[in-house]
């Protein structure tokens, strides 16, 4: 192992052990907030809108289209905005969705939009150490780039056809809308993103301990076992999970994707394909910032003996019950003369 290998190994370990500090610092230079809208138009009288808000890759907001209200997904999702300002924004989005539905239905045939169709939109801002680095608003029609908002006007996407040009010509007539969009992107978004980022730090400090358990997966072949180590409900995301024999890491260890739970914690599945007779003595080791230095270690053998213990308790118990019932029946027959 060269010195640089050792250094990079140390960095990896450091990143695994200090995930809270690491992720907070990484995002300090770079903050991004954006909203996503997906609108389905089934026919000229039926449309549905889905909306969500994101700080980097963490979803912070949803949109309840029934009631036309913002769903705040975390305790800190309001950032530092007052309830008044949030109610104003909510009203603005509600009017926007109603207006979009009505205008789209009115102009669909003129713009040659064929039902059913889907419109996707993303808009937001990026900040580098509190300065605006970039604002963006891009819309797609049926999955292809359609138009964007640039410097106070609507511009068709390079791959957009004459429909994109017609749509831009149409909406560029509304100066008031352009001013609102411009203000949302260059003023509201950066202010909100900064306040939200500060408020989210509560979460970066959060530590939730994982639970871990073992099982077998579908057999990879005759005489082989797929050992599965499940690690669930941890926060923050960085985690280290390895199949071990004693202190030796098993090279065949396969990591799944780290998957989200609805409560914001994470789940990971780590597997090892082994000869059935080699399974005994293997263990799954879990290292996570919430555990301090107390790694979770689960032994494969213990997992099996738990079943044996259960079996050893349940089988005699069942026998006893059957015997007891049998005796009771015999006694009651004898009682009847």
Ligand X SMILES: *[C@@H]1O[C@H](CO)[C@@H](O)[C@H](O)[C@H]1NC(C)=O
Start-to-end Cα distance in the chain: 89
Among 43, 109, 219, 305, binds ligand X (CB under 6 A): 43
173/251 with CB nearer ligand X = 173
Which of the residues 136 through 195 are near ligand X (CB under 6 A)?
151-152, 191, 194-195
4/82 with CB nearer ligand X = 82
| Spatial CA neighbour of 77 closest among 66, 67, 90 | 90
Helix, strand or coil, per DSSP, at residue 323: helix
Distance CA 299, CA 267 (A): 20
Tell whether residue 294 is a contact of ligand X (CB under 6 A).
Answer: no
152/259 with CB nearer ligand X = 152
Tell whether residue 42 is a contact of ligand X (CB under 6 A).
Answer: yes
Beta strands in 187-300 (DSSP E): 211-216, 224-234, 240-245, 248-249, 254-255, 259-260, 266-275, 282-287, 296-299
The interface region with ligand X, picked from 26-34, 42-50, 67-75, 95-103 by CB under 6 A, is 42-50
Among 81, 97, 154, 267, binds ligand X (CB under 6 A): 81
Nearest distance, CB of residue 42 and ligand X, angstroms: 4
Q: How many residues does the chain have?
A: 337
Tell whether residue 68 is a contact of ligand X (CB under 6 A).
Answer: no
Tell whether residue 80 is a contact of ligand X (CB under 6 A).
Answer: yes
C-alpha distances in Å from residue 157, one per residue of 154, 161, 172: 10, 8, 15
Nearest distance, CB of residue 247 and ligand X, angstroms: 48
DSSP 139-159: EEETTEEEEEEETTEEEE-TT
191/237 with CB nearer ligand X = 191
CB–CB of 50/93 below 8 Å? no
What does the binding site for ligand X look like in residue numbers (CB under 6 A)?
42-43, 45-46, 80-81, 151-152, 191, 194-195
């Amino acid at each position: 192992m060269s010195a640089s290998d050792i250094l990079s190994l140390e960095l990896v370990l450091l990143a695994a052990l200090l995930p809270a500090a690491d992720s907070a610092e990484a995002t300090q230079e770079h903050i991004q907030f954006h909203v996503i809208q997906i609108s389905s138009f089934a026919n000229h009288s039926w449309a549905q809108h889905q909306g969500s808000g994101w700080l980097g890759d963490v979803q912070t907001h949803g949109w309840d289209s029934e009631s036309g209200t913002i769903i705040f997904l975390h305790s800190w999702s309001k950032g530092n905005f007052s309830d008044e300002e949030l109610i104003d924004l909510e009203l603005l989005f509600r009017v926007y969705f109603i207006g979009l539905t009505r205008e789209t239905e009115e102009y669909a045939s003129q713009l040659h939009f064929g039902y059913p169709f889907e419109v996707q939109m993303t808009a937001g801002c990026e900040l580098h150490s509190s300065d605006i680095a970039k604002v963006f608003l891009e819309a797609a029609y049926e999955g292809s780039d359609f138009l964007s908002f640039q410097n106070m006007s609507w511009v068709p996407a390079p791959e957009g056809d004459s429909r994109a040009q017609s749509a831009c010509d149409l909406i560029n007539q509304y100066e008031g809308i352009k001013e609102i969009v411009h203000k949302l992107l260059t003023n509201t978004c950066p202010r909100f993103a900064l306040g939200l980022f500060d408020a989210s730090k509560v979460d970066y400090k959060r530590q939730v301990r994982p639970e871990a358990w073992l099982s077998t997966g579908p057999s990879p072949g005759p005489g082989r076992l797929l050992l599965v180590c499940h690690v669930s409900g941890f926060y923050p995301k960085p985690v280290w999970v390895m199949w071990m024999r004693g202190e030796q890491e098993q090279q065949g260890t396969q990591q799944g994707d780290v998957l989200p739970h609805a409560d914001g914690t994470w789940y990971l599945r780590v597997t090892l394909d082994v000869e059935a007779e080699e399974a005994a003595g293997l263990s799954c080791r879990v290292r996570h910032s919430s555990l301090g230095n107390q790694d979770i270690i689960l032994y494969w053998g213990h997992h099996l003996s738990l079943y044996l213990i259960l079996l050893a308790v349940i089988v005699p118990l069942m026998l006893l019950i059957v015997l007891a019932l049998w005796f009771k029946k015999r006694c009651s027959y004898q009682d009847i003369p």
